[in-house]
Each structure stands twice: as C-alpha cells, then as structure tokens.
Structure 1
Amino acid sequence: MGEKVSGSRAELVRFATVGAFTFVVDNAVWYLLKLTVLEGHPTTAKGVGILVATIVSYVLNREWSFRERGGHQRPHEAALFFAVSAVALVVNVIPLYVSRYVVGLQRPHVDLLTQEVADFLSGSVLGVALAMAWRFWAFRRWVFPETTPETPQGASRP
C-alpha cells in the first residue's frame, strides 16, 4: 500500500511538472495570438493555446508522468487522451467566457489592466486549476490505467 501511495505521489509531481511547463506554452501562445491576429477573440486564442499545450502534454505525460502505466494500445490511448483533453479545454475556457461575456470584464466596460487581470485569473488560474483536476483524475482512470499482472503493458483491457 505504501509503495502505491508513493507511486501516486511521484505521478502527481511529474504530472504537475508537465502541467507547469504546458502552462507556460499555453499562455505564451494565448497571449501571442490574443495580442496579435486574434485580438478580438480571446476565448478562441485561449483554445488554440490549450490545443498546442495539449499536444506537448500528451508526449510528456505518456513518456514521463505515466510511463509506468499502460493497458491500452497507443492509438486507443491517444484517442482517450485527446477526448479527455477536449473536455478539459471546455472546462478551461468556461471561466474566461463567463468573465468576459457574462460579467462584462472587457473593454470598454473596464480598463485594459482590469480586463487582462480578469482574463489571467479566469483563464489561466481558475480554468487551468479546474481542468487540471479533471485531467489528472481522468488520465489515471481511463487513459493511463494501471497494468495488472494479467494485462501486459500495451495490451487492450476489457
């Protein structure tokens, strides 16, 4: 039991490290697009940032965070990963959408600084936290399940 808990803790630390790196990727792409070609479309820019970060996340999580897990062939695993990540993308942009279009924290209703702080807090703090919790649980549950002695790594599970 103690070995399982420490393994889970190690997975969480690796997952959080990948998350920190992809947080930077997401925000770099988001702000680059939001301040240039997608200036009037912050939720679209955020979605593209999340998509780029998701691709990076798959590679890093597969090869590092959950490398000791298996149970699915790669195409099945990738399909599950991107399905879980699609739900996470929606979860992530909902707080930004609410901040901008329901609460009205956008120009001209507020100044530029207020808009940008609200965007960051709703899109990159609250949205990311909610999506991260969903992804960690779903990845461990469906995408990278534990292999059992009767299920060799890479084999399909029933």
Structure 2
Amino acid sequence: MAGFAVAGCLAYAVDLGLFLWLRGPVGLGPLTAKSLSFLAGCTVAYAGNAVGTYRGATAGTSRLRQAAVFLAVNLAGALVQLACLGISHYVLGLTSRRADVVSGAGIGMALATCLRFWGTRRLVFRISGGTRRKTRRA
C-alpha cells in the first residue's frame, strides 16, 4: 500500500499543479482543465505503479493490456472526480477556484482514489492464477 501511496502522491501533485495552472493563468474551464490534468496524473501513476509498486506482480500479462485496463480504471476514477466538480460548479453554483479545487481535487480525488486502489490491485496488477504476492513485514 505504501508504494501505491507514493505513486499516487506524485500523480496527485502533477494533477493538482497542472489543474491549478490550467484553471488560473491559462484560463481553461474547470472540466477541460481537469481532463488534461488527469491525463498527466494518470501517466505518472501508471509509470510509478508499473515500475515500482507492482513491478513483480504481472507475470504473463502484456504491458499493452495492463496499460489499457489501468487507463479504464483511472477513467472511471476521473468520471467520479468530474462528477463531483461538475455538480459543485454547475449544479450547486460554487464557481470559485477554491470550490473547484475542493470538489475536484479534494472530495472527488478521495472517492476516486478508493476506486482506483481497488481497480489497480484487482484488475491491473494481478498475478496470473489469481494468487497474491506475499510481502514480508518488517
């Protein structure tokens, strides 16, 4: 779980930083900015998990299939984030930058992270044969 958290924190930093820049100085709308920042964060998350966290847990799995399923899991998470952001911004009328950050990068990210952790562990980086890699505790 620690490796997933490290990869996720790096991806979150990229996602949040890019979102704030695209939303602020660049002047993009909230959903466009979030979509672009998501793609950058997703790329960082995949690299961190494939090279670090789950590097030995994918025997017999092609990288292309793995990347496709990872993208699908992360798109589901992105939809959760975009739904939180869209509801806050367009339905509730909370249109400030702070409200966009809280709903998209706070509440939406928390909910999406739960979905991504489950999906990444169960669907993307699994050991063939359905067995789990055993880890030693220090």
The TM-score bracket by the shorter chain reads: 0.7 to 0.9
Q: Distance in 2 between matches of 1:149 and 1:86?
A: 24
4+ aligned runs moved over 3 Å, structure 1:
147-150
TM-aligned CA deviation for residue 53 of structure 1: 0.7
Q: 5+ residue gaps in structure 1?
A: 1-11, 107-114, 151-158
TM-aligned CA deviation for residue 148 of structure 1: 4.2
How many residue pairs get matched? 130
| From 40, 51, 57, the counterpart of 1:63 | 51
Same amino acid, percent of matched pairs: 34
Classify 1:83/1:149 alpha carbon distance in 2 versus 1 (closer, same or farther; 3 Å).
closer
Aligned twin of 1:17: 6
For 1:2-13, list aligned pairs within 5 A: 12-13=1-2
User: Does the residue aligned with 1:79 lie in a helix, a strand or coil?
Assistant: helix
Q: 5+ residue gaps in structure 2?
A: 132-138
1:45 aligns with 2:33: yes
Aligned twin of 1:92: 81
Rg comparison, structure with higher value: 1
Aligned twin of 1:134: 115
TM-aligned CA deviation for residue 117 of structure 1: 2.2
Q: Distance in 1 between matches of 2:68 and 2:83?
A: 23
Q: CA contact under 8 A between 2:22 and 2:28: conserved in structure 1?
A: no
CA deviation map 1:47-80 (0-9, x unaligned): 1101111011111110111112114111111111
User: Does the residue aligned with 1:76 lie in a helix, a strand or coil?
Assistant: helix
Classify 1:103/1:73 alpha carbon distance in 2 versus 1 (closer, same or farther; 3 Å).
same
Classify 1:136/1:104 alpha carbon distance in 2 versus 1 (closer, same or farther; 3 Å).
same
Classify 1:62/1:97 alpha carbon distance in 2 versus 1 (closer, same or farther; 3 Å).
same
Aligned twin of 1:74: 63
Q: CA contact under 8 A between 2:58 and 2:128: conserved in structure 1?
A: yes
Q: Distance in 1 between matches of 2:109 and 2:23?
A: 17
CA deviation map 1:76-132 (0-9, x unaligned): 1111111111111111111111110000012xxxxxxxx222112111111111111
